[in-house]
Chains A and B, each alone.
Chain A
Amino acid sequence: MARLSFAHVRSRFWMAACWVSAAVVLAVCAGIVLAMAARGIGALEPSFFTTDPQPSFEESLAGGIRAPLAGSVILAVSGILAVFLPSLGAAIYLAEYMDEQKLGTRAIRLGLEVLAGVPSVVFGFWGLAVFSQPIFAFLSDSAGGDATSAFGRSFLVGALVMAVHILPFVVKVMEEAIRAVPRALREAGYALGLTKWRMIKRVVLPSAAPGIVTAIVLGLGLIVGDTAIVWLTVGGTMTMSGADAWWLPHNWLPVLKGTGSTLTTFIFYSSPAGEGNAPGKAYGAAFVLLALVVALNAFVAWIGRQRSIKAQ
């Protein structure tokens, strides 16, 4: 066997180190998924999805995740509804109308960048303080019924805070999608005699639709995965305080104005860190949450693939 030179030994050593780090990252990722599966799958019986959490020291009596799962969906949908129009409007303005030279528009861009870096816990605490002001009492059930302060915690409050939190990210992805529409298509639109807004509406937005949907789905993922904002602004009740039968339309407003939980706060609460002390249930919920996040990611990847197939 030929003697390896120092250079080759060194090269092999460092390449091996790189392979080891890749293997560690893969292993940790697999480890998390396997840990969820191994400890969580046991909890996944039909009743897990059809019963609400029960306060109990006995894990077998701790109920299921019906209310938190519904809470995640309610919060995600209402948060996206709140953020959609403002973010789409801002993205169109930034991509199509903005005069990069103007101070105001540059300030907006810088501001969005700064807002994107602010940790969600700051938003949560900010939201709690803002929406506890008496003028926002209509958004949350006042705890004691006094008019001097609002409770400041409800699905509506949570959705609004989430909207502010994910706005910069959603705007960024949407703006990227809008900017990615080829110049040739815009010119074709103008050459047909469309005004700027009609061109945007008829040509740019339909072409950017997959990217806009991607922004929405990524935004859903951020809402579903966040804990700090939910913990601080949706309240710590495991079930809906507004009405137990949240699925009945006449209960929707009370539910939105009431407190509740999502999968993330359920996990936090049921883990050894919270008071629920039902780690099996926490793992079950974590497994469901992870599956949700993976499904959202897969959907985004699918949209991307559709787009690249179309482009060919």
Chain B
Amino acid sequence: MSYDRMEGTDMSSSQEAAIRLRFSRADGSLGRLGTEKLVERALAFSAASSGAAILFVIAFVFMKAYPLLARDGLAWLARADWDGAVMEAWWNPDFWRFGALPLLVGTFATTTGALMVAVPLGVGCAIILSEVAPPGLGRILATAVRLLSGVPSVIFGLVGLTVVVPFVQKTFITEELGLRYVDVPLDGQSLLAGSLVLAFMIIPFVVAVSADAMRSVPESYRFGGLALGMTKWRTIAKLVIPPALPGIVAGIVLATARGIGEAIAMAMVAGGLANIPHLDRGFVAFLEPVRTLASAIVENGEGMSVLQVESALFSLGATLLVVSVVTSILARAAFSRLRTKTGLATERAI
């Protein structure tokens, strides 16, 4: 090749003028960039309107809750009369003394009861799913868990009402018991039935998220443990569960959030009374009806035409909003501690 290597670098101005433009736009037009900007704006707009929808939901709920909050502060959360207050508000336009404590207690009790069942069962099931089950059984189990998470809550309610509630009534409630405690109806619709039904509604969250977290623990941990002569169980308990713990906690937090928010199934099986279970009655407390925050919104929904009831129901909604914000922050914190790789199911659950 006979060309001078550096010839091209300093071009004379006449050569420069002779360049045929290949990729510059001498006319200064934007070409497609105009459309690009337009599209980006449109997409940003749809993202921003999603954001606006959120703000609108939150602002509206608090706005409607405001009349009660302004008059009563947070005192309505600590007072213990709900059903009577709703009745009274129907005919007394100046009545604002609502008491949501029974609903808080009902929500807390059903969710705690459900967690007491769902956490051990769910974690055990997750251990089988991620550590023990052969592929075939694992697929069946995973399908069952997915199916359980897809079953609409009204079906849980229906099965609960026609299977669990009669079971509770037949097994635990005797005529003698009914005569002794006449102040609350003991008909099977109860805290116990509610907790049992809720437990199986929230189990899929515990199983899916925990199993995912356990699967993301490196194989080498397990080999290491087994090579040291540890039993299968010790390997799982000492080497697999600890690194997966943040994931398991996140699963439990998500399950809790789901439990707190469940309305329809709880309205169907937990009983139609805003009642604080009487702990002094021992086990009978579990057989008493309760009502949760979420199910109160469904069951007292017809009271929306009354200003005070509407405001009270929106105050319940605001409480649920605050709780769900707190739980999503907690779940987020738990996930950020889960440094290992997590799969799709985990991400999708939050």
Contact = CB atoms under 8 A, between A and B. Distances in A.
Chains A and B come from one and the same complex: yes
B55 interface: yes
Nearest to B263: A121
Interface in A194-217: 195-198
Contacts, number: 276
B53 A167 contact: yes
Contacts of B120: 21
Given A86-B49, A228-B264, A129 B314 contact: yes
B112 interface: no
Interface stretch (B6-14, B274-282, B324-332): B324-332
B45 interface: yes
Contacts of B42: 89
Contact of B261 (A26, A92, A121, A265): A121
A26 B124 CA distance: 12
A76 interface: no
B interface residue count range (under 10 / 10 to 19 / 20 to 34 / 35 or more):
35 or more
B150 A271 contact: no
Interface string B93-129: 0000000000000000000000000001111110111
A268 B154 contact: yes
A22 B325 contact: no
Given A25-B203, A104-B48, A197-B36, A271 B161 contact: yes
A14 B234 CA distance: 10
A21 B36 contact: no
B246 to A, nearest CB: 17
A126 B60 contact: yes
B173 interface: no
A176 B317 contact: no
Nearest to A197: B39
Contact of B44 (A88, A93, A125, A171): A93
Interface in A33-62: 33, 35-36, 39
B240 to A, nearest CB: 12
Interface string A59-88: 000000000000000000000000001111
Given A164-B57, A297-B147, A25 B314 contact: no
B54 A115 contact: yes
B275 to A, nearest CB: 17
B146 A297 contact: yes
Nearest to B258: A119
A119 B263 contact: yes
Interface string A4-20: 00011011101101111
A259 interface: no
A128 B302 CA distance: 11
A173 B348 contact: yes
Interface in A91-135: 92-94, 97-98, 104-105, 107-108, 111-126, 128-130
Interface of A: 7-8, 10-12, 14-15, 17-22, 24-26, 28-33, 35-36, 39, 85-90, 92-94, 97-98, 104-105, 107-108, 111-126, 128-130, 164, 167-168, 171-173, 176, 195-198, 221, 224-228, 231-232, 264-265, 267-268, 271-273, 279, 282-283, 286, 289-290, 293-294, 296-297
20 contacts: A10-B233, A22-B125, A24-B125, A28-B148, A28-B200, A39-B162, A86-B49, A93-B43, A93-B47, A108-B50, A111-B51, A112-B50, A114-B325, A122-B320, A123-B57, A129-B314, A167-B50, A172-B348, A227-B152, A297-B146
